[in-house]
Homo-oligomer: A and B are copies of this chain.
Amino acid sequence: MTNKRVLLASRPAGPVSEANFRIDEAPLPRPADGEVLVRNLWLSLDPYMRGRMSDAKSYAKGVEIGEVMVGQTVGEVLESRHPKMKVGDVVLTQLGWQLYGCINDATKLDAARAPLSYYLGLLGMPGMTAYFGLKELGQPKPGETVLVSAASGAVGSVVGQLARLWGARAVGIAGGWEKCNYVSEELGFDACIDYKAGAVREHLKAACPNGVDVYFDNVGGEILDLVLARANLFGRIVVCGTISDYNSTDPYRVRNWRAILVNRLRVQGMIVFDWKDRYGEALKALGGYFAEGKLHYRESVVQGLENAPRGLIDLLAGKNFGKQLVKL
């Protein structure tokens, strides 16, 4: 039995391509004392991975050339030399893009509560990003307008639904009619703007007639500038990602910085790890809403580790629909 792994072969200059990855085979790792051997079942693909392929300074260290690509996984314990984990346990790990790995610590998952893959999305980092970003940074008040970009994605879809559960109006931005329809109809947002249809400024005005109180931004770019111009007095901007820049060598330059002054906006960066002491709270809240049927959720699944590079490339191009996963 051998391990299959996806390594970073080279750093992308511009868009990611399959040539930036290399698939290799390695001996099956053996657990040391205190470790478990885990077989990965699901791998999460997320926009942040683009940043880790780069050596530009970011909030986490990049992957080195020749290293296994980073990523969160759900797996099962095949062999245990750990006092508190046993064979068959299902665990959440950071083993990355590979079929097997050994670790000395992992979070045990409750398979009865939700499908295992959900711990990578709705009940995982994306869901918690939405929960803390909206609750603690966005702080929507009932009746306010919450706008979210990448609204059909793993984070955005939860943001808008939480906004509505907490009494606010939810407006999404997504690319294409199909995604927008999903956001409005299945997720229940009050409106969704198709940025690919053009006239974003006008559609933004129509969808947010009372302005924007909270902008939960996963994208950045030109749309951010349009939103800054429509932000209300004391509005909040949650800076959660800049997907529109991830494939660019020259970042978008923001024109409406002065809107922060004029409307006394509060702009804050959101990284979920800052909230790790409160993950239990988020899991309980999100799990509760899900159990009550109040959170809808969709997954986009790629089959097989060898297709993970293509999955990430498509994700960065906005071709996915809902939370992007690789079934291993």
The answer to whether A245 and B258 touch across the interface, beta carbons within 8 angstroms, is yes
Q: State the CA gap A110–B14 with chains docked (Å).
A: 64
Closest chain B residue, CB of each to CB of A220: B257
Mask: chain A, 259-285; 1 = CB below 8 Å from B; 0 = not: 011111111111100100000000000
**Contacts A58-B262, A245-B258 hold; do A267 and B267 have CB atoms under 8 A apart?**
yes
Contact among B220, B224, B262, B274 for A269, CB-based, below 8 A: B262
Q: State the CA gap A268–B58 with chains docked (Å).
A: 22
Please tell me if A242 contacts chain B, counting CB pairs below 8 Å. Answer: yes
The answer to whether A239 and B253 touch across the interface, beta carbons within 8 angstroms, is no
Please tell me if A240 contacts chain B, counting CB pairs below 8 Å. Answer: yes
The answer to whether B267 and A271 touch across the interface, beta carbons within 8 angstroms, is no
**Contacts A253-B254, A254-B253, A254-B254 hold; do A264 and B260 have CB atoms under 8 A apart?**
no
The answer to whether A253 and B251 touch across the interface, beta carbons within 8 angstroms, is no
> A139-159: which residues lie under 8 A (CB-CB) from chain B?
none
Please tell me if A296 contacts chain B, counting CB pairs below 8 Å. Answer: no
Query: A268 — which chain B residues lie within 8 A by C-beta?
Result: 260, 264-267
Query: Does more than half of chain A's interface fall in helix, strand or loop, or is it mixed?
Result: loop
Query: A260 — which chain B residues lie within 8 A by C-beta?
Result: 239, 267-269
Query: A220 — which chain B residues lie within 8 A by C-beta?
Result: 257-258
* A269, chain B: closest CB distance, angstroms: 4
The answer to whether B253 and A240 touch across the interface, beta carbons within 8 angstroms, is no
Closest chain B residue, CB of each to CB of A273: B264
* A243, chain B: closest CB distance, angstroms: 11
Closest chain B residue, CB of each to CB of A264: B269
Please tell me if A84 contacts chain B, counting CB pairs below 8 Å. Answer: no
Query: A258 — which chain B residues lie within 8 A by C-beta?
Result: 220, 242, 245, 251
Mask: chain A, 48-65; 1 = CB below 8 Å from B; 0 = not: 000000000111000000
Q: State the CA gap A270–B245 with chains docked (Å).
A: 29
Mask: chain A, 236-247; 1 = CB below 8 Å from B; 0 = not: 000111100100
Please tell me if A205 contacts chain B, counting CB pairs below 8 Å. Answer: no
Closest chain B residue, CB of each to CB of A221: B257
Query: A266 — which chain B residues lie within 8 A by C-beta?
Result: 266-268
Given A57-B262, A260-B268, A261-B271, 11 more contacts at CB 8 Å?
A: A59-B262, A239-B257, A242-B258, A242-B261, A253-B254, A253-B255, A260-B267, A261-B269, A264-B274, A265-B268, A266-B268
A-B contact pairs, 20 of them (CB 8 A): A57-B262, A58-B262, A220-B257, A239-B257, A240-B261, A251-B255, A251-B256, A251-B258, A252-B257, A253-B253, A253-B254, A260-B267, A260-B268, A261-B270, A261-B271, A263-B269, A264-B271, A266-B267, A266-B268, A267-B267
